[in-house]
Amino acid sequence: MKVYILEDEVNIREYILSLAGDIPYLQVVGYAAEIATAQKEIQQLQPDLILADIELKDGTCFTLFNTIKTDAHIIFITAYNQYAIDALNLGAFAYLLKPIDTAAFNNTIDRCYKKIEAYRLTKQQLEITDSHYQKKDTPRRIVLKNFDFIQIVAMKDIVYCQSDKGYTTFHLQDGSKIIMSKVLKEYEALLPEDTFIRCHQSYIVNVNYISRYYKEGELLLTNTHKIPVSDRKKSIVIDYIERLT
């Protein structure tokens, strides 16, 4: 599992490097003390996991993760516990406080590793299933697994997905909802880019249900629901709409 470390305190960074070095399945592919450096390197190195302090000398990591595209899981390691809710909404896997407890660190890394491996296996299975159904001219589907059930949903029936405090809610065409205990980022990687747009940190929308776009930053869907569009995502939404004209 490839790991990238973002920490501006040298002693703490060295300690994290030593902890990571004791875990055989971890490979540290890079580290940085500044957001500007990490912004370039993360997109080049494509790590599976990012260990990040929140407050750095040139800003906060929330700015970084809202401006780059990465499928990496994020574990925040910080001395500030007031950022916990923001971290969950961003889709962070975990939130560890300094000083770092070795046992808690190892346990969190292990849980993350198992989740990443399970996700890779699920994605492979979905790709095989999707390929099979496409050959039969059957609509693509997604498998939603929870503690209580496994549900197969046709992607055409998903109107939008909403993230809230580490959970993702699928809003379906018939008005029903499915709540999953996974972050939005995991489903973003499974939903086809030609059909779904990440228009906001907390929302992914099926483009087939977009009825109107308000330039101040809002989408009106065919079911009359309104979805916010963040400033950073406006160009993506506008580009899609312009391709229709």
In tens, the pLDDT along 34-61 reads 999 999 999 899 999 999 998 888 888 8
Element (H, E) at 244: helix 234-244
Residue spans in the chain of domains classed CATH 3.40.50.2300: 2-117
pLDDT of residue 60: 85
What kind of fold does domain 2-117 have according to CATH?
Rossmann fold (3.40.50)
pLDDT of residue 116: 82
Provide the angle, in degrees to the nearest 10, between the axes of the packed helices 102-135 and 10-21.
Answer: 60
- pTM to 2 decimal places: 0.55
Query: Which CATH number, 2.40.50.1020, 2.60.40.1220, 2.40.280.10, 2.60.40.10, labels domain 139-244?
Result: 2.40.50.1020
Nearby residues of 206 by Cβ (< 8 Å), 6 or more positions away: 155, 156, 158, 159, 160, 195, 196
Residue spans in the chain of domains classed CATH 2.40.50.1020: 139-244
* pLDDT for residue 139 is more than 60: no
